[in-house]
């Protein structure tokens, strides 16, 4: 049986509005909504997710979309799996526009 069939997805809200935020969600698949952030052009926002379903040897994939933000061009540049955690780095690749609101980050974790 695949991991998808055994474990459901979930949602969580992140806390933190500077260059970092945190959340807790104990699912292998999920959607995180940041607080309203203002990440400058070429700046990064790092989300640390506490997640008991993740192992350091797992493989994770992610994507990001504008939530309430109307400017900026966020992309997920890195996801690092740790023992019971994910660290997700989102970079604003816009040439001049800052992110000006919430972002929605989706992730999926698979056993290696």
Mind listing the pLDDT tens digit for each residue in 23-56? 999 999 999 999 999 999 999 999 999 999 999 9
For the whole model, what pTM was predicted?
0.91
Q: How far apart are CA 29 and CA 62, in angstroms?
A: 10
Does residue 67 come out as left (phi exceeding 0), alpha (psi in the -120 to 50 range) or beta? alpha
The first and second tokens of residue 107, run together, are 């992730």
53, 24 contact by CB (below 8 A): no
pLDDT at residue 7, rounded to an integer: 56
Domain boundaries, the chain: 3-110
59, 79 contact by CB (below 8 A): no
Q: How far apart are CA 80 and CA 56, in angstroms?
A: 8
The first and second tokens of residue 90, run together, are 């989102």
With 80 as the cut, is the pLDDT of residue 60 above it?
Answer: yes
High-pLDDT (> 90) share of the chain, %: 87
């Amino acid at each position: 049986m695949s991991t998808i069939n055994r474990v459901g997805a979930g949602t969580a809200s992140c806390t933190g509005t500077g260059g970092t935020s945190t959340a807790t969600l104990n699912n292998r698949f999920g959607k995180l909504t940041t607080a309203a952030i203002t990440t400058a052009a070429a700046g990064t926002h790092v989300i640390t997710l506490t997640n008991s379903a993740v192992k350091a040897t797992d493989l994770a994939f992610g994507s990001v979309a504008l939530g309430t933000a109307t400017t900026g061009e966020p992309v997920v540049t890195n996801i690092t799996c740790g023992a019971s955690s994910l660290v997700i780095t989102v970079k604003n690749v816009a040439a001049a526009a800052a992110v000006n609101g919430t972002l929605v980050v989706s992730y999926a974790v698979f056993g290696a």
